[in-house]
Amino acid sequence: MGFDRESYHRTKQELADILEKKLGVQVYTESFLADKEQLFCLARDSVGKKLYSAGTGSAERLDLPDPGRKSLVNETLTVFESPLSSANAARLRKKFTHLAPSVIGIHSSAGFGDRLGCATPGHVRALLNSSGESGFFRPVFAQQSTRENLRTGRSSLEVIDDAMWGVMQSGWKDGYGADADHLKTTIEISECLRNGYTFFTIDPGDHVKNVDASLGGTSLDEELELLPWDRLETSWPDLRGRLAGKPLRCGERVFELDESSMAVAAVKYGRAVAHTVEMYRHLLDLSDGKKDSFELEVSVDETESPTTAEEHLYIATELRRLGVEWQSLAPRFPGRFEKGVDYQAEPSLEIESSLNELKQSFISHAAIARHFGPYKISLHSGSDKFLAYPLLSEAAGELVHLKTAGTSYLEALRVTSVKDPGFFRKAHQFAVSRYPEDKASYHVSADLDLASDTLKMDDSELVSVFDSLHDRQILHVTFGSLLNDSELKGRLLEILDSQEEQYYDFLDAHFRKHLEPFMA
């Protein structure tokens, strides 16, 4: 058959007619792809989504490892119905390179975590509908941490497969990244690289020492002696001689590490630097030394105290000396970046004072990133931080990576509050019961006593629950428990499947509020 422009459009229309008029399935019109003598698209029937392909009338099999069944044959086409299997996804990624994750590089980017595996079309819609400069953000559609996968029962490969099917369904052809988020071990790196990830977020948080609170009776000098200087390939006298007391101009800002602040930075982050170097070298070895085949993010955001500019300076200087190349760094910023809600001040500060402190922090970190990179400043727990977005945009420009996770799950629950109030009440009550245990590993401040009593609310009032800090966080951090309850998970996915356009519209509206402040 061979597809020139004319035959492609003719065959595309013929296949669409067969699927919709003869087989009675709903075709995703943006999903069509052609490869040599085969045409592919996605469609859904009463059971779920399927992959369909048309080949020449004499074709006996489909060029997929899991070809499914020959659905219909007419004079010109053989139509195959195939499952959305992992094997088929892998083959399509080889056929169509835009379906495979790729490296984003030093370009503004946004990570769209998807804990349910069905949100990518909504994320695409938000990107396409956002105002401002076209293509401002490069998307990372596949993004989950090992912790999240353990709680949702998904594998790192399933995360990529789900994102890929969403990319195909939406007709997105401009590339996307896949973020193996918050990696702590080389085993996790190996698995994610094998499964096609291109973005690796190293989380050395377990190796960060909270100097102010955790030294106890140990002196700073004693802590310096305990650092793994062999792994850092240096010594305290050498480090002090290289950096202490030497002003460094980064743009309009000048930073200087005196001996005391240098010691604090080394004790706080020295082991984290050593761990990051080992993780990076493992990744580089597995990639056969091809530095341009992946990108690295260094994340020190999940720590007890903010990362000062001087500490950032120490981290960047030492990582660069040790040969690490990275594309983004996530400091711990001042203030409270809690899950699922807007930026909040520390209890001792008014919000305006806290925002000014945050602004100055953004400016300093961005200046250092430009000097040592350039690399991007990554905002973790970045969903719903509407007060922070304009400040980060002004300070860093396009050197921004915005990372979101659970907010898409909240939008899924918002759909149920509108379309199945009874289920939403059940899910909310379940979340309330699980919150005391599930909140342990999250930075949240929701109070169960201030949670909504959904049993006493009218159906039309339920959507207002999503305006409450307490309810948002209670729902946000209990996702793992709900998704491990087969009955609740099954019903949630049924609702989203039957209301997918509503879900995409909610995601579109929600994420445009995240993206547009950076495009102004």
Q: Which sequence positions are flagged as catalytic?
A: 181, 297
Specify the residue for token string 């001996």: 259
CB 135, CB 114: distance < 8 Å: no
Instruction: Point out which residues pair with 53 in neighbouring strands.
Output: 40, 80
DSSP assigned state of 324: -
Sequence-ordered list of residues with C-beta below 8 angstroms from that of 90, at least 6 positions apart, any chain? 65
The CA distance from 56 to 76, in Å, is: 6
The CA distance from 9 to 16, in Å, is: 10
CB 125, CB 507: distance < 8 Å: yes
Q: How far is CA 297 from CA 181, 313, 380, 388, 501, in A?
A: 9, 16, 11, 21, 34
Q: With H, G, I as helix, E, B as strand and everything else as coil, classify residue 143.
A: strand
The CA distance from 385 to 345, in Å, is: 12
Specify the residue for token string 């996530």: 330
Q: Which residue type does 387 have? A: L
DSSP letters along 170-191, please? Answer: HT--S--EEEEEEE-SHHHHHH
DSSP assigned state of 455: G
Q: Which residue type does 318 have? A: E
CA 13 from chain center: how many Å?
36
Q: With H, G, I as helix, E, B as strand and everything else as coil, classify residue 339.
A: coil
CB 304, CB 336: distance < 8 Å: no
CA 92 from chain center: how many Å?
23
Helix axes 236-243, 259-286, angle to 10 degrees: 110
CA 468 from chain center: how many Å?
24
